Chains A and B, each alone.
Chain A
Amino acid sequence: MNPATTAKVITLTIDDRSVGAREDQTILQIARENSIHIPTLCFLEGLTPAGACRLCLVEIVGTSRVLPACTTYATEGMVIRTTSPALEAHRRTVIELLFAEGNHICAVCVSNGNCELQDLATELGVSHINLPYLNPTRPVDASHPRFTLDHNRCVLCARCVRVCDEVEGAHTWDIMGRGVDARIIADLNQPWGEAASCTSCGKCVQVCPTGALVEKGKAVAEMRKRHALPKLITRQQEHGS
């Protein structure tokens, strides 16, 4: 964000606190600047917000719908609630749906202990999943020489799609299909190792919140990601390296 912006300054209320902001800021940005915590999964600083995971839903007085904080811009006089029994129930359901829809076996996952889905379950008090597990049959793509894509652990946050397009400029990744059939594809739904556009930079692996995109050769709980990568790169680009 350019500090010399001419955007208007506004005041709004978040969780009974009066805060100042610019009108080109999202509710999530303003909340974070003011140390107000809103849980997120698909959001990653340095990438365009997608509003895909629905964890950052907030209540806005005068609006009947709940709205994602990451893609909703603040307006003058807005009154926002980031937490309520209803919002907490929404967020827990989102987490339960993600666990029920994929095959997330934490105990045998390379990202065990370094997984944002796992952390969110703990943070939101999801100690068990009431929904029936779908146990879908999903493939694992190990065709790339250095990395593996395990669809079983994918939560479709689209961080990989965005970092590949916006930061690396390769746009290898996309999402194909709808609903429970949606999945990440490389190029024109080819094995990753055969995707001509992939530069093997590994940014998608570093931003993936779970163990869906991982480096080869890691054993259980050994995969640690560098989630700050897009933020660091985009800041460097803005300030000129």
Chain B
Amino acid sequence: MSKIRFATVWLDGCSGCHMSFLDMDLILLDLAPKIDLVYSPLVDFKTFPDQVDVTLVEGAVSSTEDEEKIRHIRRHTKTLIALGDCAVTSNVPGMRNTFKPETIMQHVYGDAPPVQVIPPLLPKSVPVHHIVPVDVFIPGCPPSADTIVKTLLAVLEGKPNPVPPRFG
């Protein structure tokens, strides 16, 4: 069996879901022979490759940069998995949605918000599936390592997904 081309992406989240992913500990050794990690904040590849079988997305879509990234990733990914509450519900990043982006920028940066480096905020921070189609949802803040590995193995082996856990 050829290796699954596998990627993980970190949008507007706290990286807790990636920590939970690493929390698989020894199971990572079982997973390693099955996957080829082609893009991730955990490795040093700079660009998202053309053909990826499975991508885990952590975080909500909050800026124009996030939106461009996720649209690009969707085009080049067969199975897109929303990992954790930020990707699934927009969660904590979405708590700014009752304020206007300009109000937030002013509150954080004062009268001279940066016009470079910091990507412009979208009007609202939204779940991944509100921008592009998502194939599998894993709620949780963060989802447990056990939940991630069970779902991932089901996807890799083409089996039905296990029952998703609760939000939060």
Q: B-contacting residues of A (Cβ < 8 Å)?
A: 99, 103-109, 112-113, 115, 118-119, 121-122, 125, 127-130, 132-133, 135-137, 221
Report chain B residues within 8 Å CB of A122.
164-166
- Which of these, B85, B91, B94, B127, contacts A135 with CB under 8 Å? B94
A106/B167 in contact, CB under 8 A: yes
Report chain B residues within 8 Å CB of A128.
82, 88-89, 127, 129, 134, 137, 139
A112/B168 in contact, CB under 8 A: yes
- Which of these, A103, A109, A135, A136, contacts B168 with CB under 8 Å? A109
B137/A107 in contact, CB under 8 A: no
Q: List 14 A-B contacts (CB under 8 A).
A: A99-B89, A105-B91, A106-B166, A107-B92, A109-B168, A115-B168, A119-B166, A122-B164, A127-B137, A127-B139, A128-B82, A133-B124, A135-B98, A136-B98
What is the bound-complex CA distance between A137 and B95, given in angstroms? 11
Q: How far is the CB of B52 from chain A (nearest CB, A)?
A: 22
B residues 96-136 in Cβ contact with A at 8 Å: 97-98, 124, 126-127, 129-130, 134
Contact of A106 with B168 at beta-carbon distance under 8 Å, contacts A127-B139, A128-B129, A128-B139 already known: yes
Report chain A residues within 8 Å CB of B165.
122
Contact of A121 with B167 at beta-carbon distance under 8 Å, contacts A127-B137, A128-B137 already known: yes
Report chain A residues within 8 Å CB of B166.
106, 113, 118-119, 121-122
What is the bound-complex CA distance between A130 and B131, given in angstroms? 11
What is the bound-complex CA distance between A129 and B126, given in angstroms? 11
Report chain A residues within 8 Å CB of B130.
132
Report chain B residues within 8 Å CB of A130.
129
A108/B92 in contact, CB under 8 A: yes
Determine whether B63 belongs to the interface, using a CB cutoff of 8 Å to chain A. Answer: no
Chain A residue with the shortest CB-CB distance to B85 = A107
Interface-centre pick from A109, A125, A135 (highest chain B CB count, 10 A): A135
B129/A118 in contact, CB under 8 A: no
A133/B168 in contact, CB under 8 A: no
Report chain A residues within 8 Å CB of B62.
none
Report chain B residues within 8 Å CB of A115.
168
B95/A129 in contact, CB under 8 A: no
B residues 122-168 in Cβ contact with A at 8 Å: 124, 126-127, 129-130, 134, 137, 139, 141, 163-168
